[in-house]
Amino acid sequence: MPKSISWRKLVRKLNKLGFYGPFSGGRHLFMERNGHKIYIPNPHRSDLSVGLVAMIIRQAKISLEDWNKI
């Protein structure tokens, strides 16, 4: 199970996993890797919840092992 993290840490981890961005895309920002887009929330003042982080990991098709390594 992932932990709640800040928006900046989320973007850094996704960058290390090969995603580029974030790019503006309408209401939400998105990041891209090999033509696969994932939508991320707009920056928050507080940490992102565990459920939201888990949803982003699933959308990005990243295993929990890879996520926890970074």
Domain assignment of residue 13, given as a range: 7-69
d(CA 63, CA 50): 15
Q: What is the pTM of this model?
A: 0.89
Residue 2 lies in a domain: no
Residue 35 lies in a domain: yes
From residue 17, alpha-carbon distances to 26, 27, 33, 39, 65 in Å are 24, 24, 9, 15, 12
**51: amino acid identity, one letter:** G
Residue 11 lies in a domain: yes
Residue 64 lies in a domain: yes
CB-based burial label for 27 (10 Å; 0-12, 13-18, 19+) = exposed
Give me the number of domains the chain comprises.
1
Q: What is the CATH number of the domain that holds 12?
A: 3.30.920.30
**How confident is the model over 2-11, as pLDDT tens digits?**
788 999 999 9
**How confident is the model over 20-61, as pLDDT tens digits?**
999 997 888 999 999 999 999 988 788 999 999 999 999 999
Residue 63 lies in a domain: yes
